[in-house]
Chain A
């Protein structure tokens, strides 16, 4: 039987009583429950989360659909420590190439940490230590002789809060090329236009490329950051809650954009918004307290999660 933390129980009176989910009658979407495929016949057990909370090792439930994919980022028993406190526990995740993979889970479960492990941005934080294995395109990310700079050049990153540099729009977009020493005006201009078009913002800013990026609206700034992230044609695009600070219209634009981008890049996106995950991603991974719980094709995970815990999270019962 699940026992929610007292804070949660107090906030959601429904959680005060033990909840037994009637899997058959539960639907997560509008529409007739009868059209829904039935959940896999298995006894509902809430042991997984309980075990995680108790600190016991738990094996992640990975859907078979993933086996058929070509994987870009692969982690095996990946653990990460902030000083003495462990933030990631034995994460074994495969991120398929050319797909959008969403990371979901309650706050503080390590989504951002995992994302930042892929391009080793956590190296900037003092006292971070990793164990286990993480590879990108078959090449280990944490080998001692890995060129971190080069690794980061092969990944683009978009942050939760848009962070354009205090420079012109043009200089913002071509920043990755500038630090590579690119000076040819023509190359820069082309890359800038390509990236801005890729980020669906070209039409809005093409006449004011030399104006400060800080004068743009929040949504524009975030799309500019996406343009910057894709300007140097990275292999993997990491997005950490890119829409959390934006209004619905800007969010819609960026979701569309992610959809378009996904044809060319491997995208790993963290989101708090279930609908967003459902809309933009091909695969979804559910994490909890630093562990990977379940991962599978988004449709399957949302409609027929293997674990009731996943289903509970998706339907907003906790988290």
Chain B
């Protein structure tokens, strides 16, 4: 037997086979992505970390004869110069502080105008509770009573005594603060609740639930309670005034070298030296060792992380902002993950994979492309005004009792019909339904949907519900910006991410697992619960991570539904219920926007913008890292040792 085969000629010259060109293309693509990201992160990290580093204080003598202290911020070329052959003109931005005197705490000074510049070791940078920083020299610590001023210490002695004096002052300040915020706040809350009680009584009287007699008694109770609280308040007020008087005696003089002005008590008492309690921190930067600088640096970070903002957010800390962001993110994931997971389970496991499921899937995916501000508008209109308004004062347009009961009867009939349908569609557990039963099942689903809609309509128009917070009207409780509505709005926004991630995770559970479980006699739900969901958990975590990162970084919708520039009451506090769902909150993303674009003094806000951005990134990173570690632990459980 002869065999003839055609020899295969293998071409060696094909371009795709030589030198792996795709390696370079893909490397280039990856490289440029990484470079851009690294540049962005490096900028934020660099700026964020260097902001709090104490910088030298220069004493400048200008050509005009002016002498001033300033902290150089940055230098840039000033463009055109008179002398084309000479060095390019440069100018430096100095932080000169002393806003009460100078009017502008930052100042560009051309290099050509600087005659001399020294680094005096006794120059101090004073961070104050108001009006930004003061640059000058410590002159005296004073004791003032009436018009009489006693010098407690002067010059270097004063510098030596300053830490102890500041400590004492801070102690006083805290005491006053706790009286103001704590005790007075408590009395105010009590008074408010007494007023509300009376208002409720008034409303019930209007409804005819209370007699004139009872109303009168309520009024009397309020009056008594008010007097009682007023007395209590007066006591505290007196104590505060006393402490304040005592506090107002300890003063400190920081003098500016140029004009000889002193850091004043307030902007209209320029001759009065400031109180010690108005000082946050005094730094003799030029005289500091590295360790000393590091100490200042750390203490500034600590202040930033552990206190609230002052000075229109440009100074002080961001603690309430962090709390608000974390509360929002947590609440958001608590809402969106179960919701998305359950929806994905139905979509992937129970729903018939056909036109409807595809349509729903496409719709969900498209939700991800809707601009987030649209979610904000929806959240404001639906959650804040409609749902929140309903909770506060009941339906805005209640039906007449007659038509409401007619509708209720309709809902009852629909419910009865649906239950009947469901009963006929029901099979013994494990028994496959017949064709007719399947039709009934479909109809029952439609029935449940309409019953749900009817119930919602009934609730929305009931004439019997007057709201939980009617007495507070017109002040809204839930009917305005708030944490809950923000979390719900963002949940809606991130729902597609969670649904898609969960669906993919569920789809990736191998068929062999489901068959093994079914083969053991597990029902569909048991298989989902015991096999599919645990295995899909890492995928769900991915969805949660994405949702959380989005929730922490989103700004636009939050401006409408919950984030505010400043809050008087934190969303997380020591008083029950600890997390206040109805309160507006501060949010890092919004805070950055507010500082960067809404601040009256953008130069003063600039450092805080960087640190806040850095903080936001770190928080997102921390949330993500936690979630990723958790996911890794889950995944390890599914790794098999046998092949």
Contacts and interface: CB of A to CB of B under 8 A. Distances in A.
Contacts of B307: none
A229 B640 contact: no
A233 B520 CA distance: 11
A214 interface: yes
Contacts of B522: 149, 175, 179
Contacts of B516: 157, 159, 163-165, 225, 228
Contact of A165 (B427, B428, B513, B521): B513
Contact of B431 (A148, A175, A178): A148
Interface in A131-170: 144-153, 155-157, 159, 161-166
Q: Assign chain A's interface to a size class.
A: 35 or more
B512 interface: yes
A147 B519 contact: no
A214 B640 contact: yes
Contacts of A166: 534-535, 637-638
Nearest to A219: B642
A214 B431 contact: no
B518 A126 contact: no
A161 B520 contact: no
Given A145-B428, A147-B428, A214-B642, A152 B519 contact: yes
Contacts of A19: none
Most chain B CB within 10 A, of A147, A166, A216, is at: A166
Most chain A CB within 10 A, of B431, B510, B516, is at: B516
B432 to A, nearest CB: 6
A40 interface: no
Q: Assign chain B's interface to a size class.
A: 20 to 34
A145 B427 CA distance: 8
Interface string B527-538: 000110011000
A180 B430 CA distance: 13
A121 B515 contact: yes
A96 B523 CA distance: 29
Nearest to A124: B518
Nearest to B512: A163
A147 B520 CA distance: 14
A61 to B, nearest CB: 32
Contact of B518 (A121, A180, A220): A121
B519 A165 contact: no
Interface string A96-113: 000000000000000000
Contact of A152 (B432, B520, B643): B520
B506 to A, nearest CB: 15
Nearest to B1: A13
B441 to A, nearest CB: 15
A212 B635 CA distance: 13
Given A159-B512, A214-B640, A218-B643, A119 B519 contact: yes
B637 A152 contact: no
A153 B517 CA distance: 11
B521 A150 contact: yes
A236 to B, nearest CB: 12
Contacts of B353: 126
Most chain A CB within 10 A, of B430, B431, B434, B520, is at: B520
Interface string B625-642: 000000000000111111
A214 B638 contact: yes
Contact of B520 (A124, A179, A217): A179
B642 A179 contact: no
Nearest to B520: A176
A75 interface: no
B518 A152 contact: yes
B392 to A, nearest CB: 46
A126 B351 CA distance: 12
Contacts of A163: 510, 512-513, 515-516
Interface of B: 353, 427-432, 434, 510, 512-523, 526, 530-531, 534-535, 637-643
Interface of A: 119, 121, 123-124, 126, 144-153, 155-157, 159, 161-166, 175-176, 178-180, 212, 214-218, 220-221, 225, 228-229, 232
